[in-house]
Amino acid sequence: MLHLSVPSQDTQRILSLLKAEKALPEGARVQLDPTDETRRLIPFIGPISNQDLAQFAVIDVETKPSPARTYRDHLPSLLDSQIVESIEWPTRHEFVGDLILIKLDENQRKYGPEIGVALLTQHARTRAVFEDRGVKGTFRVRDLKLLAVKEGEDPTTRTTIIEGGHRLETDPSKVYFSTRLSHEREGTIECATKLRESRGRPLAICDPYAGVGPSILPLITVPGLVGELFVGDLNPSAVDLLRDNIDYPSATIECVDARELKTRPEMCNKFDLLLVNIPHDSLEHLSSLTPLVKEHGIVRGWAVIEDDDFENAKNHLKEIFDNTYTIEIRRSYSATANLCRFEGQITL
């Protein structure tokens, strides 16, 4: 590419002149002139009519193309330029292990395979790209369609996630999993540690909505924190993955409806800490779950609450925990609702 060799102190002025002449290429990078360290090389395109610019020496420099900043920079090599310029391409995608999940509208969906290839090209560690068509079914799992897979790799949706140094097997097409709750899981460790200190012994913990076990795995790796452990889920696919992820001698793992556990005498008044993570139903399920918790035990849970229902939710928690509860908005869930975390202590 052709460059002007200009004195260093004139660099900004020349850049402005080239812009005015529309002769400055997009993404232009100024370089040191290798023949004179007091000068800089500025790339330009087209003939130059400005006499202020014509006075400078022109040097032909072999330049490397600028590295692609996003997957969209790869689309011109996969699609006609008119198509690339006519479509508003998606700007967000989600990483789940070695997978990428991306939402597409009708116009974008026509070019899903090309989007998938572009994403694989941009992200070398990604194995496969899937269109995320939202959640479906009782267990709110992702409706996924394969867009592209790396040559020679398996197109399965099963993948491994590393969170906080812990490896979790999951499958977004079969089980619900959210990386957005990772910070909440750190808070659960803090909550359990404080409770362990007050009890002076390992805790009996119950997580009947465990999914693939992201909340439990960090707890069982803390020495002396967990004693007896019950984990379960209503989704059989989640329970299969739980058994792969949770290797703990005193763990009981079941495929079960958490609301039915109170009918089993051996499960009542048993646990120091109960986790309730079924956000759309947590508050509704609470009354069926509290019989599982010992006196002065802690219930820690998450709920999606509409703005208009926030006071009703607080009143519901007060009925269950009296005044020994807290509730906090953690993040926005939608335009009219928030994901909230609550903690309450059982007092008999």
pLDDT at 29: 85
**Residue 24 near residue 44, CB atoms below 8 Å:** yes
Cα(274)–Cα(265) distance, integer angstroms:
17
User: What's the pLDDT at 22?
Assistant: 87
Mean pLDDT of 48-62: 86
Average pLDDT over every residue of 68-79: 93
Q: What whole-number distance in Å separates Cα of residue 210 and Cα of residue 224?
A: 21
Which of the four pLDDT bands, split at 50, 70 and 90, describes residue 348? confident
Task: Give the residue among 288, 240, 284 at the shortest CA–CA distance from 267.
Answer: 288
Residue 267 in 3-state DSSP? helix
Match domain 71-157 to its CATH number in 3.10.180.10, 3.40.50.2300, 3.30.300.110, 3.40.1010.10. 3.30.300.110
pLDDT of residue 46: 81
Read off the pLDDT band of 65 (50, 70, 90). low
C-alpha pair distances (Å), 305 with each of 120, 301, 336: 37, 12, 9
Q: What is the pLDDT of residue 61?
A: 85
pLDDT at 163 exceeding the cut of 70: yes
Average pLDDT over residues 145-154: 97
User: What integer pLDDT is reported at residue 138 of this predicted model?
Assistant: 87
Query: What's the pLDDT score for residue 214?
Result: 95
- The CATH T-level fold of domain 179-345 is Rossmann fold (3.40.50)
Q: What mean pLDDT comes out for the span 14-21?
A: 90
Residue ranges with strand state E in the chain = 2-7, 31-32, 39-43, 57-60, 94-96, 99-102, 128-136, 141-149, 159-163, 166-170, 203-207, 226-233, 251-255, 271-277, 293-306, 325-334, 337-345
Torsion angles phi and psi, residue 112, rounded to 5: -55, -45
Supply the mean pLDDT for the chain: 93
Domain boundaries, the chain: 2-60, 71-157, 179-345
pLDDT at position 237 over 70? yes
Q: What pLDDT shows up at residue 233?
A: 97
pLDDT score of 281 = 93
Average pLDDT score over residue span 19-45: 89
The full DSSP string for 9-49 is GGHHHHHHHHHHTT-SPTT---EE-TT-TTEEEEE--S---
pLDDT tens per residue across span 256-274: 999 999 999 999 999 999 9
List all residues 6 or more positions away from 249 whose beta carbon is below 8 Å from its beta carbon: none
Fold match between domain 2-60 and domain 179-345 = no
pLDDT tens-digit profile of 291-342? Answer: 999 999 999 999 999 999 999 999 999 999 998 999 999 999 999 999 999 9
**Which of 190, 141, 145, 182 lies closest to 164, judged by CA?**
182
The hierarchical CATH code for the domain 2-60 is 3.30.70
What distance in Å separates the CA atoms of residue 196 and residue 214, rounded to the nearest whole number?
Answer: 20
